């Protein structure tokens, strides 16, 4: 996996017949500057950009997020809130997985090299090029377990 810069994103987009638009560059910078462990939905990103005076439509944001996820630049996450979240797709050793509470949506990131190795080995064996390998575990956190127990 690659760490994306504006130059490498531009080169990859050009190679595929697309352009690095100002909107795509702005969205890339937002994800590059997010603190580790923070995820954004399309709506979160839209409100953040709107607050910064950027006039990028929600439909452009959705298309850009899908494109960047297909390229392997962003990870598309199902965090149990009914809509997708995105984060920058960090290369090894920053690669991580998610443990999500199905009751309160609390999310914990964890690392496990075995999962990535199995994914890479399986992809290679089948002739695939690995873009991402992620595991999402749905569970009930200790706080929600206590709330479910009768007193």
CA distances for 7 relative to 21, 51, 61, 64, angstroms: 12, 27, 20, 17
Burial of 98 (0-12, 13-18, 19+ CB in 10 A): buried
Matching residue, tokens 């702005």: 26
d(CA 79, CA 48): 20
SS3 state of residue 58: helix
- The separation between the first and the last C-alpha atoms of the chain, rounded to the nearest angstrom, is 50
Q: Does 133 count as an annotated binding residue?
A: no
Which pair of tokens denotes residue 87? Answer: 């984060």
d(CA 92, CA 111): 10
Q: Does 101 count as an annotated binding residue?
A: yes
Binding residues: 95, 101, 104, 141, 144
Binding residues for Zn(2+): 101, 104, 141, 144
Binding residues for Fe cation: 95
């Amino acid at each position: 996996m690659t760490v994306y810069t504006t130059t490498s994103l531009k080169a990859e987009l050009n190679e595929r017949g697309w352009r690095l638009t100002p909107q795509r560059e702005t969205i890339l910078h937002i994800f590059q500057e997010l603190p580790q462990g923070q995820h954004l939905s399309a709506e979160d990103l839209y409100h953040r950009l709107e607050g910064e005076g950027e006039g990028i439509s929600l439909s452009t944001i959705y298309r850009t997020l899908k494109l960047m996820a297909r390229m392997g630049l962003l990870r598309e996450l199902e965090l149990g809130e009914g809509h997708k979240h995105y984060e920058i797709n960090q290369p090894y050793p920053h690669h991580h997985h998610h443990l999500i509470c199905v009751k309160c949506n609390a999310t914990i990131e964890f690392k496990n090299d075995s999962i990535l190795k199995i994914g890479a080995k399986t992809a290679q064996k089948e002739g695939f090029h690995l873009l991402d390998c992620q595991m999402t575990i749905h569970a009930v956190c200790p706080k929600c377990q206590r709330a479910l127990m009768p007193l």
